[in-house]
Amino acid sequence: MRRSPLAAITVTVLATILVLAGCSTEPIKTGASSNQSAHLRSGPQTANVTTPAIRPVADNPTPTLPVTVPSVGTGDVTVRSADRIISLDRNGTLGTIVYSLGLGSHVVARDQSTTFPQAAGLPVVTGGAHQVDVEAVLKANPTVVLADELTGAATLNQLRSAGITVVVFSGDRSVNGAPTLIEQVAAALGVPAAGKTLADRTRTEIAAAIKKVPQSNPRPKIAFMYLRGSLQFIAGKDSSADGLITALGGSDAGADAGLTTEFTQITPEAMINANPDVLLVMSQGADSVGGMDAVLKLPGIAQTNAGRDRRIVQMDQTELLAFGPDTGAVITALAQAMYK
């Protein structure tokens, strides 16, 4: 899913999958994957990022404004003040970037996915299904709102009508795209130098994390599953997950199985045919079906390599597909949970 949910994700994952839930699905038609037991951990694992979520590259840098920047769907937008910032993003990526740029003191409210401690005391302006509470946003009196393109158009128009500057960013999220998004946010807030520093650090950390991932031939087949109760999907070609899977030294079980859409609803036969070696899920998704043990009991999974060795890795959705400044740390945490 390049459009992350909550995606997360994203891109975002949640919105993309909810759309796909109403579409017809395609069966997975490829065969079994190789046995990867020698170098993969068995049993359920939880990947935890151990570095702080926020590591500012500057101490409250002074924005150089006004600045005119592109905004998805509306053309160029002029930002005249970054004194009071709100970011709206299903994965919390934009909020993480703002704080990592050193502008956390300018943030006056948060979305429900911005959960790191530095933002915990701020009023929350999104609710169930990430719906934006326009009145709450207006009450916070922002001078600029940063939003991903999956934020409702009607909501953004209401904010614009109230005289608020709104900058919309692409929902495409990926390992390689993280530094670019950082630079775009920094440009919109008038701190391009801090943006370059943060983007360069992110690129360096991603490269270092990938270099440390064990490599094997053949590569383990990894299936990213999106779960929300009865909604059960497997990621396919061009999802946000495929680049992450590649960074983890694996091959995308969904793409290998011939899936040409970002997400496809799975059947027991489909999962058996895809036969992943590892299942990758968001913790909240696993919880929605009763936890990781319950995921392993879903129809068809017990007959896969992953199911036989109970090989499932979960990670919080605000980290797994956020693709922000901590992308390198996410890759490291997942690799440590996956490999012996």
CATH code where residue 203 lies: 3.40.50.1980
Check if the beta carbon of residue 62 is closer than 8 Å to that of residue 206.
no
8 falls within a domain: no
258 falls within a domain: yes
154 falls within a domain: yes
Q: Name, in order, each residue with C-beta under 8 angstroms of 120's C-beta and a sequence gap of 6 or more.
A: none
Q: Are residues 257 and 317 in the same domain?
A: yes
* DSSP type of residue 318: H
Tell me, what's the pLDDT at 266? 75
* DSSP type of residue 173: -
4 falls within a domain: no
* DSSP type of residue 110: B
5 falls within a domain: no
b/e map 29-59, b = 16+ CB within 10 Å: ebeebeebeeebbeebbebebeeebbebbbe
Tell me, what's the pLDDT at 262? 85
The C-alpha atoms of residue 340 and residue 338 are separated, in whole angstroms, by: 7
Tell me, what's the pLDDT at 316? 94
Domain boundary among 167, 183, 208: 208
Check if the beta carbon of residue 4 is closer than 8 Å to that of residue 11.
yes
Q: Are residues 333 and 227 in the same domain?
A: yes
Q: Are residues 20 and 42 in the same domain?
A: yes
Locate 140 and state its tokens. 């916070």
Residue reference for tokens 């991903």: 148
Check if the beta carbon of residue 223 is closer than 8 Å to that of residue 280.
yes
Check if the beta carbon of residue 97 is closer than 8 Å to that of residue 188.
no
- Average pLDDT for residues 101-125, to the nearest whole number? 96
Q: Are residues 283 and 203 in the same domain?
A: no
Tell me, what's the pLDDT at 338? 97
In degrees and rounded to multiples of 5, residue 158 shows phi and psi of -60, -45
Q: Are residues 74 and 170 in the same domain?
A: yes
The C-alpha atoms of residue 88 and residue 268 are separated, in whole angstroms, by: 36
| Nearest Cα to Cα of residue 49 among 337, 335, 329, 320 | 329
Q: Are residues 221 and 312 in the same domain?
A: yes
Strand 263-265 to strand 312-315: parallel, antiparallel, or no bridges (unpaired)? unpaired
Q: Are residues 325 and 278 in the same domain?
A: yes
Q: Are residues 220 and 204 in the same domain?
A: no
Q: pLDDT for 126-174, tens place per residue?
A: 987 789 999 999 999 999 999 999 999 999 999 999 999 999 999 888 9
Domain hosting residue 304, numbered range: 13-51+214-338
Residue reference for tokens 């929350």: 124
Tell me, what's the pLDDT at 24? 36
Which H or E run contains 109? strand 107-109
- Average pLDDT for residues 248-264, to the nearest whole number? 88
57 falls within a domain: no
Domain boundary among 179, 208, 237: 208
| Nearest Cα to Cα of residue 65 among 86, 41, 83, 53 | 83
Q: Are residues 274 and 243 in the same domain?
A: yes
The SS3 assignment for 4 reads coil
b/e map 74-99, b = 16+ CB within 10 Å: eeebebebbebbbbbbbbbbbbbbbb
| Residue 138 or 13, more confident | 138
- Average pLDDT for residues 176-193, to the nearest whole number? 98
Range with the poorest average pLDDT among 105-119, 151-165, 230-244, 292-306: 230-244
Residue 55 clears pLDDT 70, i.e. is over it: yes
Residue 135: CB atoms within 10 Å: 10
Tell me, what's the pLDDT at 35? 54
Tell me, what's the pLDDT at 19? 39
Locate 307 and state its tokens. 């199911």
Tell me, what's the pLDDT at 182? 98
Crossing angle for the helix pair 192-212 and 240-247, to the nearest 10 degrees: 60
Q: Are residues 114 and 47 in the same domain?
A: no
Q: Could you give the number of structural domains in the chain?
A: 2
The SS3 assignment for 209 reads helix
Q: Are residues 318 and 285 in the same domain?
A: yes
Tell me, what's the pLDDT at 31? 40
Tell me, what's the pLDDT at 22? 40
What's this model's pTM, rounded to 2 decimal places? 0.89
pLDDT level of residue 37 (50, 70, 90 thresholds) = low
Distances, alpha carbon 221 to alpha carbons 33, 77, 114, 311, in Å: 7, 43, 31, 11
Strand 231-235 to strand 263-265: parallel, antiparallel, or no bridges (unpaired)? antiparallel
The C-alpha atoms of residue 137 and residue 157 are separated, in whole angstroms, by: 13
62 falls within a domain: no
Tell me, what's the pLDDT at 36? 60
Q: Are residues 252 and 329 in the same domain?
A: yes
* DSSP type of residue 34: P
312 falls within a domain: yes
pLDDT level of residue 15 (50, 70, 90 thresholds) = very low
Domain boundary among 208, 229, 253: 208
pLDDT level of residue 259 (50, 70, 90 thresholds) = confident
